[in-house]
């Protein structure tokens, strides 16, 4: 996934941008609200972190412009001063979090994890059912898989696997992305390469068609019609 971080204080922006690169494929930086909005239009990042007090456009103005056409991207707002009126406006913008500065790393990390989860949840529920083949159907609301109207029993972790792979059509997800989504970020600390392989192997045995594709350099995807 990609993230945009808008902060007018240069040293703070550079330090946090380096931190975000540990977790995100693409990290975009903006020094003011106008630049942030232009980068958003060009790059369409899934997650945005906006400082509420920025030159040219403040964070809320950027979020308001984005929300006119985009209801799915996740926005985290940062502020050094709690302003009641701005808080009221922020509640109308479907923000993921409103964090006070200076930012605590654990709060920021939790907000990022929540943003990723919300993004996948929203995008899968836009399409209630996904056709993997003409007879193999993934139901996004119920999170179940059926073949010719007969439910295929999946475990909790197998459902999470399908949930992430169906969240973007014909998109390869890296092993790291899948592991974090299925088992949580701590699973990377005790990484077992056979864990994901065994999960995929068990799922494939349950499927009437081989719809799970794997490329070593890219990861896994599920073919969709």
- Strands (DSSP E) contained in 13-149 are 26-30, 47-51, 74-79, 97-100, 129-131, 136-139, 144-147
Question: CA angle 143-218-111, nearest 5°?
Answer: 55
**Domains of the chain: residue spans and CATH:** 2-123 (3.40.50.2300), 127-222 (1.10.10.10)
What is the predicted pLDDT for the residue at 97? 87
In DSSP terms, 136 is beta-bridged to 147
* Dihedral-angle region of residue 44 (phi above 0 means left; psi in -120 to 50 means alpha; beta otherwise): left
Cβ atoms 140, 152 nearer than 8 A: no
Of residues 169, 154, 132, the one with CA closest to residue 200: 154
Count of Cβ atoms closer than 10 Å to residue 116 Cβ: 23
For 25, 69, 70, 144, the CA distances from 8, given in Å and listed in that order, are 23, 25, 24, 45
CA–CA separation, 213 and 40 (whole Å): 31
Q: Classify strands 2-6 and 136-139 as parallel, antiparallel or unpaired.
A: unpaired
* pLDDT tens by residue, the chain, 225 residues: 899 999 999 999 999 999 999 888 899 999 999 999 999 999 999 999 999 889 898 888 999 999 888 888 999 999 876 665 666 666 678 888 888 888 888 999 999 999 988 887 777 666 678 888 778 988 887 888 999 888 999 999 999 999 999 888 878 999 988 998 899 878 877 777 789 999 999 999 999 888 899 988 889 998 887
What is the predicted pLDDT for the residue at 85? 63
What is the predicted pLDDT for the residue at 122? 77
Cβ atoms 134, 225 nearer than 8 A: yes
What is the predicted pLDDT for the residue at 47? 94
R_g of the chain, CA atoms, integer Å: 19
CA–CA separation, 49 and 40 (whole Å): 11
CA–CA separation, 63 and 197 (whole Å): 40
What is the predicted pLDDT for the residue at 87? 63
How many residues would you count in the chain? 225
Question: CA angle 125-109-16, nearest 5°?
Answer: 115
In DSSP terms, 2 is beta-bridged to 26
CA–CA separation, 34 and 37 (whole Å): 5
CA–CA separation, 167 and 189 (whole Å): 25
């Amino acid at each position: 996934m990609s993230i945009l971080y808008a902060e007018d204080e240069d040293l703070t922006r550079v330090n946090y941008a380096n931190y975000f690169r540990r977790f995100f494929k693409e990290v975009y930086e903006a020094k003011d609200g106008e630049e942030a909005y232009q980068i958003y239009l060009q790059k369409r990042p899934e997650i945005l972190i906006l400082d509420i007090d920025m030159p040219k456009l403040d964070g809320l103005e950027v979020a308001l412009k984005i929300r006119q056409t985009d209801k799915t991207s996740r926005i985290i707002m940062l502020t050094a001063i709690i302003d009641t009126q701005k808080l009221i406006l922020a509640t109308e913008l479907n923000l993921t979090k409103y964090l006070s500065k200076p930012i605590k790393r654990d709060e920021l990390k939790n907000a990022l994890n929540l943003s990723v989860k919300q993004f996948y949840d929203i995008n899968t529920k836009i399409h209630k059912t996904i056709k993997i083949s003409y007879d193999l159907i993934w139901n996004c609301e119920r999170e179940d898989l059926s073949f010719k109207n007969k439910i295929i029993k999946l475990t909790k972790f197998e459902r999470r696997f399908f949930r992430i792979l169906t969240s973007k059509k014909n998109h390869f997800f890296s092993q790291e992305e899948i592991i974090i989504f299925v088992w949580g970020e701590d699973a990377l600390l005790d990484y077992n390469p056979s864990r994901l392989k065994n999960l995929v192997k068990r799922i494939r045995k349950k499927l009437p068609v081989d719809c799970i594709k794997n490329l070593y350099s890219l990861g896994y995807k599920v073919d969709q019609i």
